[in-house]
Amino acid sequence: MFELLKTDSSSRARLGRLTTPRGVIDTPIFMPVGTQGSVKALDPRELGELGTQIILGNTYHLSIRPGMEIIKAAGGLHRFINWPLPILTDSGGFQVFSLAKIRKIKAHGVEFRSHLDGTLLFLGPKEAMEIQRTLGSDIAMVFDDCPPHGCTAREARAAVERTIRWAAECREQPRAPGQMFFGIVQGGADAALREECAKSIVGMGFDGYAIGGVSVGEPENEMMKAVEFTEPFLPANQPRYAMGLGTPAQLVELVARGVDMFDCVLPTRVARNGTAFTSKGTVSIKGGFNKSDFRPIEEGCACYACRNFSRAYLRHLLNVNEILGLRMLSVHNSHMFMNTMVEIRRHIQAGTFGEFRREFAATYVPSQKVLSSRKLGVRGED
């Protein structure tokens, strides 16, 4: 059940509450990505301390390893990974995009060659829903066709038609007790296709709706347009999810455009490269200028890494390949993303989101290097 608690007077930002059998999710919310059943470098205790209310799992990857027999024997994904709070599972539709070189699209799904050993696999609406039912996720995503940026108008049209047809097939499948289904809207940066797809998917009556086909290599202005073309046709009384997004600055802007839920691998992915997110932008902790800098990653940050370690020490750990270094940057980056959402919710509640948005945009300097990593098909695969 989703409750719309408040809307912002200066934008389309919303404050909401999504209730699931395993817990309440305050929106707008950022969801850490656990592709293989684990958020990289972080354990469940740390995720809890960061205020994590929901994480993601990936249908395609988990179905290959460890496989459904193991997860079913364990009692479902929650018990297998020892995570008691809600989980959202991607359907595997993104692999239609990311594994383009080793797959073949058919009428009722996609034929894959496993990225591990070349084994022939098939994933369609029926299979995707069956896997998610076995996983026992709290939110299951329908199986969709995510076309790449730069595809032809004909290819975009075909992807939308498949997405609509597959969503209808997904809607007919049984679900796990208490499991929600979210529909996905495709259409690239084409306003008419977005409207058509949104109206068709909403007409099927899902529990929430996702804006797909973003974070697939398009420039930021096209990504924003895709959201803007879709949002007006999504119900106000149900959650809206922008898949695979984004940087902190993008999250603020997407919230202003009426989106409630987000996921992205950036916090832990760039941490493994020695990059830290701060409220003013990104900083390379590996940089020589940090060699004797005994300040924390960010002054005033309350995360465990900033309370206990200096930039100089973390730089040393990263340069000698000690695991603690990348773990602490993962803690800090995840905290920064979570805290950004806390601040967004606080300002929407207080009626000051407009001022927060303007100040954030004025002081946050985006990194082109980080934006480039976002364009490499990072959604749902960390």
Identify the residue whose tokens are 């899902």: 206
Q: What is the mean pLDDT of the segment spanning 99-113?
A: 78
Q: Assess whether the previous peptide bond of 239 is cis (omega < 30° from 0).
A: no
Order of strands, sheet of 23-27, starting from the edge strand that comes earlier in the sequence = 2-7, 14-20, 23-27
Q: Which residues pair with 104 in a beta bridge?
A: 111
Please state, rounded to an integer, the average pLDDT across all residues of the chain: 93
Of the residues 90, 145, 190, 260, which is catalytic? 90
Whether 196 maps to a domain, the answer reads: yes
Whether 54 maps to a domain, the answer reads: yes
Q: Assess whether the previous peptide bond of 125 is cis (omega < 30° from 0).
A: no
* Percent of residues, the chain, with pLDDT higher than 90: 85
Distance CA(163)–CA(252), nearest Å, equals 28
pTM: 0.95
What is residue 147's predicted lDDT score, i.e. its pLDDT? 87
Residue 78, burial from CB neighbour count under 10 angstroms (0-12, 13-18, 19+):
buried
Whether 329 maps to a domain, the answer reads: no
pLDDT confidence tier of residue 368, bands split at 50, 70 and 90: low
Identify the residue whose tokens are 């750990």: 317
Query: Nearest CA to 160 among 226, 90, 251?
Result: 226
Domain that holds residue 222: 2-93+123-270+368-374
What's the structural domain count of the chain?
1
Whether 81 maps to a domain, the answer reads: yes
Instruction: Specify whether 263 is catalytic.
Output: yes
What's at 331, amino acid-wise?
V
**CATH code, domain with 243:** 3.20.20.105
Whether 357 maps to a domain, the answer reads: no
Whether 11 maps to a domain, the answer reads: yes
Distance CA(326)–CA(14), nearest Å, equals 34
Of the residues 207, 260, 263, 382, which is catalytic? 263
pLDDT digits (tens, 9 = 90+) for 295-346: 999 999 999 999 999 999 999 999 999 999 999 999 999 999 999 999 999 9
Confirm if 246 and 373 have CB atoms less than 8 A apart. no
pLDDT above 70 for 372 = no
Whether 185 maps to a domain, the answer reads: yes
DSSP states along 203-220: TT--SEEEE-S-SSS--H
Instruction: Specify whether 90 is catalytic.
Output: yes
What is residue 259's predicted lDDT score, i.e. its pLDDT? 98
DSSP 67: I
